[in-house]
């Protein structure tokens, strides 16, 4: 089997990898603040003989680690940020960890470590079999803010990579060809004039009125956009008390769609709505563009390579304890568990997935900034079983699984899959050629343009 040495190497490093994953899980950090995780990842990769660079593409917590030389250059696209409000113990009931505002409710501790393990495994295969090529492992900050990879791309971090791979913890073993949405995130800051709301309302110009009229306008806009568009908002400042006319108010919007072009069009129209609201209320508006990313664009050639690797590597069996833990979690999210088993055609009693690696084509209305890498070079995107069936993405249940042996098994499996994926591509350059042909066809002559304007800097 191609990649046998790589698989054995991952297994040999298992304890070290698990330590890294647990460290990151125990020290969850916000996007662009992943300094503790960065230090640990750099330490391990240096030990393993990689050439390591930080601050790649102008993003301070980003990492690039290189091994080997020449082509093909295989990119491993890791992430390591956590989410606010999702602190949780490894428990089947909701138990937050005191003093810990963040948690790995998207499992990026597993995501990070699987890419590190995959790169180490492939490196061993390359050394022992004297294979050509280069491993380029990246840790990409701020994925939850959907801007880490676009900012790194803007800084030129991904130049010279032939093909890449991105793994994410999820519910089943699946290489996806479905599409996730592109997104723009922006805040509208309105400025009005304060006054006593009862004694002198005529002197006031309410910034909150402008926010409300923007939302009314946005809700009318919904009817006249393509059906894949999603517009959602939250009022982040609505004033202080009812008897003061608010002179400052703010609303935060996301606009999503399955293509970048549609997002940009709807975004422009939404800015017009906000300008109209300002005009109606005699206030002014400032638009703060927070970030954006591309939709995903999966590569069927590479998805097939991932699925083939999945089916050659045995998935570890789940223990009785793991199955009981997952069943207890599923009791709390029975509707979500039912929807997942139905989606994948599994028995409704399934709590942890065991089965073949599949190529699927489900679309997702969520977004991930791997979409930007996918518009630069052919990239595979896949999932392994790391949680119970009902764990919602971004939930305390997900945090619990990401810190448990369930997540660890899914992570090690994913590391092996990525190592074998890399070995298969190095062995068979024809696959890379085919993947590039698919990519060129998808791009139809379009050129990647970072969605984040140059004046928007890296969040500090
Ligand atoms: Zn995630």
Q: Could you tell me if residue 64 is left (phi over 0), alpha (psi between -120 and 50 degrees) or otherwise beta?
A: beta
Query: What is the 8-class DSSP label of residue 90?
Result: S
Predicted local distance difference test score (pLDDT) of residue 218: 98
Over residues 412-425, mean pLDDT: 98
Give the distance (Å) from ligand 1 centre to CA of residue 29.
13
Give the distance (Å) from ligand 1 centre to CA of residue 108.
6
pTM of the model: 0.95
Give the distance (Å) from ligand 1 centre to CA of residue 146.
10
Give the distance (Å) from ligand 1 centre to CA of residue 413.
18
For residue 47, give the nearest of 73, 19, 75 by alpha carbon: 19
Predicted local distance difference test score (pLDDT) of residue 260: 97
> Three-state SS for 448?
coil
Give the distance (Å) from ligand 1 centre to CA of residue 106.
4
Give the distance (Å) from ligand 1 centre to CA of residue 214.
31
Give the distance (Å) from ligand 1 centre to CA of residue 107.
6
pLDDT at 404 over 90: yes
Predicted local distance difference test score (pLDDT) of residue 324: 98
Give the distance (Å) from ligand 1 centre to CA of residue 295.
15
Give the distance (Å) from ligand 1 centre to CA of residue 72.
27
* Residue 137: band (very low, low, confident or very high) from pLDDT cuts 50, 70, 90: very high
For residue 396, give the nearest of 143, 172, 104, 109 by alpha carbon: 104
Q: Can you tell me which residue has the tokens 């980003």? A: 62
Give the distance (Å) from ligand 1 centre to CA of residue 165.
15
Give the distance (Å) from ligand 1 centre to CA of residue 140.
12
For residue 253, give the nearest of 191, 180, 189 by alpha carbon: 189
Give the distance (Å) from ligand 1 centre to CA of residue 75.
18
Give the distance (Å) from ligand 1 centre to CA of residue 143.
7
User: Across the strands, what pairs with 241?
Assistant: none
Give the distance (Å) from ligand 1 centre to CA of residue 160.
25
Over residues 135-140, mean pLDDT: 98
Give the distance (Å) from ligand 1 centre to CA of residue 168.
6
pLDDT at 55 over 90: yes
Predicted local distance difference test score (pLDDT) of residue 436: 98
* Residue 447: band (very low, low, confident or very high) from pLDDT cuts 50, 70, 90: very high
Residues 6+ apart with CB under 8 A from 219: none
CB atoms within 10 A of CB 204: 19
Give the distance (Å) from ligand 1 centre to CA of residue 242.
39
Q: Is the dihedral of CA 404, 405, 409, 415 positive or negative?
A: positive
Give the distance (Å) from ligand 1 centre to CA of residue 111.
8
Predicted local distance difference test score (pLDDT) of residue 460: 82
| Residue 79 and residue 112 in contact, taking contact as beta carbons nearer than 8 Å | yes
Predicted local distance difference test score (pLDDT) of residue 203: 97
Give the distance (Å) from ligand 1 centre to CA of residue 109.
10
Give the distance (Å) from ligand 1 centre to CA of residue 185.
17
Give the distance (Å) from ligand 1 centre to CA of residue 275.
34
Please report, for residues 122, 197, 299, the alpha-carbon distance to residue 365 in angstroms, rounded to integers and kept in the order given.
33, 42, 19
* DSSP element (H, E) containing 64: strand 63-69
Over residues 367-394, mean pLDDT: 97
Give the distance (Å) from ligand 1 centre to CA of residue 251.
25
For residue 127, give the nearest of 76, 170, 77, 67 by alpha carbon: 67
Q: Which tokens sit at 381? A: 């995107």
Query: What is the 8-class DSSP label of residue 355?
Result: S
User: Across the strands, what pairs with 256?
Assistant: 183, 230
Give the distance (Å) from ligand 1 centre to CA of residue 25.
14
| Separation CA 266–CA 306 (nearest Å) | 35
Q: Which residues surround ligand 1, an ion (CB under 5 A)?
A: 106
Give the distance (Å) from ligand 1 centre to CA of residue 454.
26
| Separation CA 130–CA 136 (nearest Å) | 17
| Separation CA 162–CA 436 (nearest Å) | 8
Over residues 18-31, mean pLDDT: 98
- Upper half-sphere CA count for residue 170 (Cβ side, 13 Å): 15
Query: What is the 8-class DSSP label of residue 224?
Result: G
pLDDT digits (tens, 9 = 90+) for 197-227: 999 999 999 999 999 999 999 999 999 999 9
Predicted local distance difference test score (pLDDT) of residue 1: 82
Give the distance (Å) from ligand 1 centre to CA of residue 17.
19
Give the distance (Å) from ligand 1 centre to CA of residue 144.
7
Give the distance (Å) from ligand 1 centre to CA of residue 240.
35
For residue 177, give the nearest of 342, 305, 73 by alpha carbon: 305
Give the distance (Å) from ligand 1 centre to CA of residue 195.
45
- Please state the separation of Cα 154 from the chain's center in Å: 18
Give the distance (Å) from ligand 1 centre to CA of residue 11.
24
Query: What is the 8-class DSSP label of residue 144?
Result: G
Give the distance (Å) from ligand 1 centre to CA of residue 156.
23
For residue 161, give the nearest of 56, 258, 58 by alpha carbon: 56
pLDDT digits (tens, 9 = 90+) for 171-204: 999 999 999 999 999 999 999 999 999 999 999 9
pLDDT digits (tens, 9 = 90+) for 347-372: 999 999 999 999 999 999 999 999 99
| Residue 74 and residue 425 in contact, taking contact as beta carbons nearer than 8 Å | yes
Predicted local distance difference test score (pLDDT) of residue 93: 96
Give the distance (Å) from ligand 1 centre to CA of residue 104.
9
Over residues 251-277, mean pLDDT: 98
Give the distance (Å) from ligand 1 centre to CA of residue 357.
20
């Amino acid at each position: 089997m191609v990649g046998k040495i790589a698989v054995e190497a991952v297994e040999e490093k298992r304890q070290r990898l698990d330590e890294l994953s647990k460290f990151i899980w125990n020290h969850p950090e916000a996007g662009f603040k992943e300094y503790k995780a960065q230090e640990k990842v750099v330490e391990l990769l240096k030990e393993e003989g990689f050439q390591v660079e930080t601050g790649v593409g102008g993003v301070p917590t980003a990492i690039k680690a290189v091994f080997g030389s020449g082509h093909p250059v295989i990119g491993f696209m890791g992430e390591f940020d956590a989410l606010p409000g999702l602190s949780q113990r490894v428990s089947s009931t909701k138990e937050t960890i005191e003093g810990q505002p963040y948690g790995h409710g998207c499992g990026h501790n597993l995501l990070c470590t699987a890419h590190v393990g995959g790169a180490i495994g492939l490196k061993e295969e390359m050394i022992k079999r004297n294979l050509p090529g280069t491993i380029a492992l990246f840790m990409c900050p701020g994925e939850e803010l959907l801007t880490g990879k676009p900012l790194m791309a803007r800084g030129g971090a991904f130049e010279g990579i032939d093909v890449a791979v991105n793994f994410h913890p999820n519910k089943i073993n699946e290489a996806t060809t479905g599409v996730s949405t592109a997104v723009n995130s922006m805040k509208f800051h309105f400025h009005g004039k304060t006054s006593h709301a009862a004694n002198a309302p005529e002197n006031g110009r309410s910034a909150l009125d402008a926010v409300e009229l923007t939302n009314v306008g946005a809700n009318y806009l919904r009817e006249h956009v393509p059906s894949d568009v999603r517009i959602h908002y939250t009022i982040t400042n609505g004033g202080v008390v009812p008897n003061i006319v608010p002179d400052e108010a703010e609303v935060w919007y996301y606009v999503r769609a399955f293509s970048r072009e549609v997002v940009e069009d709807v975004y422009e129209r939404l800015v017009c709505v906000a300008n109209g609201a300002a005009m109606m209320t005699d206030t002014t508006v400032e638009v703060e563009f927070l970030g954006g990313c591309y939709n995903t664009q999966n590569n069927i050639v590479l998805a097939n390579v991932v699925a083939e690797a999945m089916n050659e590597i045995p998935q570890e069996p789940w223990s009785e304890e793991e199955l009981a833990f997952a069943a207890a979690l599923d009791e709390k999210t029975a509707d979500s568990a039912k929807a997942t088993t139905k989606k994948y055609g599994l028995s409704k009693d399934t709590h942890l997935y065991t089965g073949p690696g599949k190529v699927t084509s489900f679309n997702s209305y969520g977004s991930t900034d791997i979409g930007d890498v996918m518009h630069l070079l052919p990239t595979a995107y896949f999932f392994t079983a790391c949680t119970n069936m009902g764990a919602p993405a971004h939930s305390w249940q997900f945090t619990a699984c990401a810190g448990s042996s369930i997540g660890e098994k899914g992570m090690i499996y994913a590391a092996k899959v990525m190592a074998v994926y890399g070995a298969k591509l190095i062995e068979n350059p024809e696959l890379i050629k085919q993947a590039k042909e698919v990519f060129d066809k998808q791009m139809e002559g379009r050129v990647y343009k970072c969605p984040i304007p140059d004046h928007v800097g890296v969040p500090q």
